[in-house]
Structure 1
Amino acid sequence: MHPELWLVRHGETEWSRSGRHTSTTDLPLTAEGEAVAGSLPARLAGHEFQRVLTSPRLRARRTAELAGFPEAEVSDDLVEWDYGSYEGITTPEIRRSVPDWTVWTHPCPGGESADQVAQRLHHIVDGAAEGRTLVFGHGHALRALTALWLGLPVSDGRLFLLDTATVSILGQERETRAVLRWNA
């Protein structure tokens, strides 16, 4: 079997609901986030995973737990893009001082660069062994991971909108890495 990466974005938090950039702030899931994450076992049923990884952040670990994987291996490589001084701020607020800002095209003062994000996420791509690896993580980081899986620059993660508590599958079609399922 070719390697597959199964991606699960954490359930909803107060900040994800309001569009506030959340990397290092460790927020719990909302009641809605808990309920939707509680539907993950049915969506993952019938599949065997050779490895299960989670970001160390509470929202990702709780989603993994609700999905039926309380013993998921914690990986610092799966933390969200570090937004630096933009932590807790929405894109419209940032754009008041930096017009047209996006995490994909502009720096995050005091945070990570796209190259830094790519460097750590390459560890996840390179560590995907034969079979299935299930990862629990965050919106921008998982979108960047998808771009890297496909051999694209991190900035192309902007092309992959990812909702909370969704399942996406990266794999191969013959010799070519591909998106097998997205945002399900």
Structure 2
Amino acid sequence: MSSQEQETRNIKICLVGDLDVGKASLMRRFIDNVFDPTQRPTIGVGFAVRPLDIEGERIAAQIFTRPSSGRFLLGSFYYNAWSICLVYDISKRRSFSSIESTWLREVAENMPGSDRESPIPVRLYLIGNKSDREAQREVSTEEGAELAARCNMIFTETSALDGSGVEDFFMTLFTQICRDASPESTS
């Protein structure tokens, strides 16, 4: 197969978390490299795609966000996800507390299983967003890292507003998925 005919691999990730933690803004920052200060809370499922070439492999980086309220078809939302990112706002302790009390529980109940198109495990990430709000910080970086370690998640902090850490985080995530899913690593 020539490089022009190379198949594109769809890689779906899901962003979940409380209302107003910046899930849609993180998605927009990565997909379009923009921040919209007038962004309204997502009513339904948010979805965007960015084509990427990672280590010679063409992928469609699919990012799904879900509204923080409602218990719509959760199984369908998580279906075929390669990674799930749990997002909180570093300036809102309640959003951090919800990671364990709400979001980890929901993920565990709806975790993609053997129906996925790849044998690699679903990775969980913990994202402390709005790192530009350092003066209003209610959750320390150490607390985020500790929760991530305790719950077997990979931790980072980002700012959708100024872009800090967003591109690096998502590129690292998609690169790691491609490496994990390569024939050499799954055989």
Superposition TM-score tier, normalisation by shorter sequence: 0.3 to 0.5
TM-score (norm 1): 0.32
- TM (norm. structure 2) is 0.32
When you count strand as a share of all residues, which structure comes out higher?
A: 2
